[in-house]
Amino acid sequence: MKPVLYIVIPCYNEEEVLPITAPLFLDKIKELVSLDKIDDKSRVMFVNDGSKDKTWEIIKDLASKEEHFVGITQSRNRGHQNAVLAGLMEAKELCDITISIDCDGQDDINAMNEMVDAYADGCEVVYGVRSKRDTDTFFKRFTAESFYKLLNSMGAEVVYNHADYRLVSSRVLNEFANYKEVNIFLRGMFPLVGFKSTSVYYERNERIAGESHYPLSKMLSLAFDGITSLSVKPIRMITGFGVFVAFVSLVLLVYSIVQHILGNTNDGWSSIMVAICFLGGVQLISIGVIGEYVGKTYMETKARPRYIISERTYDEK
């Protein structure tokens, strides 16, 4: 029996690129159907993340003209990760496998063939991994690779150079639905679910049209969310550094007492000010990191919905 595939595509202000990439996704669905890899009930699901332009109108128009296009829209903008989650949770009851991919056409859609083949071979999760980063600037390449290394060093289990291009079976999604946290970092959460997995490698292209919606500030925010959502190692590092500073302070205290007894003490205003400023800075940074964890705990206890679907292009079953 051929699996039903839903390609889940988060969209935010994509009126420029959507008319270009939508036919590409449709052609891929039809190609996989013609190759007998998936069922003709497979669909391309667009998730409108509260766009301010005509993205939702374009999605509705696509769905009205072609049965393989469906769409849902969130009640407001909630961010890329929540949009992907909304699509996956919506699709899990409608299909056997999902593939999440961005709308901008940068990820190679031909890698989907290998992903579906890997599923047929028994893999429940297939990660799309970039084989190289030649299209990135030096700064973006350096920061991105450093981020993955940092996450792994912090104890988080992430796939190197993998973003959110992945195949996930409905079986895995049903288990993933039990992960109720509000602060989500999907690329670090799916490895926690387990099940048989593999990777498919591809080359990433330039954005086809429009502008990137992930400036440096958002990438830094996502990186910080990923670290604090998947690891408590920063708090342990603060504790370890505190113990180290306390030990150094004890040594300096003994040294000061000895110098005082020997009569070698001098006025040291500058050294005192440097020590105070240094420790004050360390304390503020430590409080900030701990506060981030406290804030996340506060948000989790509220248990607010992670997404709200306000409209669909199809009748809800």
Residues 38-86 pLDDT 10s: 999 999 999 999 899 899 999 999 999 999 999 999 999 888 889 999 9
Mean pLDDT (the chain, rounded): 82
Which residues are CB-neighbours of 130 under 8 A, at least 6 positions away? 161, 162, 163, 201, 202, 203, 204
Residue 218, in any domain of the structure: no
Do both 17 and 147 map to the same domain?
yes
| Domain extent for 122 | 5-213+306-312
pLDDT digits (tens, 9 = 90+) for 139-182: 666 766 677 777 667 666 777 778 789 999 999 999 999 988 88
What are residue 43's DSSP bridge partners?
Answer: 6
Cβ(14)–Cβ(95) below 8 Å:
no
User: Looking at the structure, do residues 64 and 145 belong to the same domain, yes or no?
Assistant: yes
User: What pLDDT sits at residue 277?
Assistant: 66
Residues 51 and 178 occupy one common structural domain? yes
C-alpha to C-alpha distance for 44 and 308, rounded to whole angstroms: 20
Total domain count, the chain: 2
Beta strands in 110-191, from DSSP E residues, in sequence order = 125-130, 162-169
Instruction: Give the global pTM.
Output: 0.74
227, part of any domain: no
Looking at residue 201, which CATH number applies to its domain? 3.90.550.10
Residue 222 has pLDDT above 60, yes or no: yes
pLDDT digits (tens, 9 = 90+) for 104-122: 888 889 999 999 999 999 9
Same domain, 70 and 182: yes
**CA distances to 127, 128, 156, 280 from 165, in Å:** 7, 5, 19, 43
Q: What is the C-alpha separation between 185 and 220, in angstroms, rounded?
A: 13
- My answer on whether 144 and 35 are in the same domain is yes
Question: 180 to each of 122, 175, 309, how far by Cα in Å?
Answer: 27, 11, 17
- Do residue 186 and residue 250 come from a single domain? no
Average the pLDDT over 15-44 and give the result: 92
Q: Does residue 224 lie within any of the structural domains?
A: no
Residue 255 domain-assigned? yes
Q: Is residue 219 part of a domain?
A: no
Dihedral-angle region of residue 210 (phi above 0 means left; psi in -120 to 50 means alpha; beta otherwise): left
Whether 180 and 242 map to the same domain: the answer is: no
Tell me whether residue 222 is in a domain.
Answer: no
Least confident piece of the model among 4-8, 104-108, 169-173, 289-293? 289-293
Domain membership of residue 125 (yes or no) is yes
Q: State the pLDDT at residue 266.
A: 60
Angle subtended by helix axes 80-91 and 186-193, to nearest 10 = 40
